[in-house]
Amino acid sequence: MKKLECVLFDADGTIFDTARAYYTTLINSYKKLGYNEDASFEFFKKKLVNKNYFELLSKKGLNLGNKKDIEEFQNYFEKSAVEETQPFKGIEELIKKLYNNVKLGIVSNADFEIMSKILSKTNLEKYFSTIIYESEKPGISGVNMSVDLLSVPKNGTVLIGDEKIDAICAANAGINFIGVSWGYSDIKEFERYKKIGIAKNVGELESMIFSLMH
């Protein structure tokens, strides 16, 4: 590949530990509305994350026609999810190092309202020249928009992500890909897709990225 000029990050499960935050928030939201939930974090991460939480609540007896309860749940969930979410250990330091060497962007399928507040709260948004929310990966429109706005070549761009949709998106867009193992997917899901490598920790990710700058 050409010398690295741009790093595009996924957000959920790559920069931010949203699974843990959403789990805590969902359990507390259920309790706040008088429902019990005993799902373990691992079960939640594999089976419930990214599901329709209103649908899950309805199975526990919540009347979806009750606008008051729905609004209460939604408001609490968004507020708590923002408060609970933190970057994975070491990611903030890596982003700061990269900021002085390459152009940075985010291409995420995450909800605009929640993720924009998380980025603002963690004070990380200032490091990114482009941020594309609700990008509908594995569609490539978010990647194409980012490289156009940043005026960087695709063969000098790498996407960092934790799910196979990120790998598919990178392949379809004609950019490079590095998978990370600490997000939502089992690393076996990356095996069939073209990639520079799979980072098992932030230190490995840093080494892979900086090796592309020479």
pLDDT by residue (tens digit) across 96-137?
999 999 999 999 998 888 899 999 999 999 999 999 999 999
User: Residue 114 and residue 117: Cα distance in Å, rounded?
Assistant: 5
* For residues 129-156, average pLDDT: 96
110 in the same domain as 26: no
β-pairing verdict for 6-9 and 157-161: parallel
| Beta strand ranges found along 61-205 (DSSP E) | 103-107, 130-132, 157-161, 176-180, 197-199
91 in the same domain as 152: yes
Of 67, 84, 101, the position where a domain reaches its end is 84
Residue numbers of the domain that contains 137: 6-17+86-211
Q: pTM for the whole thing?
A: 0.87
Q: In this structure, is the dihedral angle defined by the CA atoms of residues 191, 204, 83 and 39, taken in order, positive or negative?
A: positive
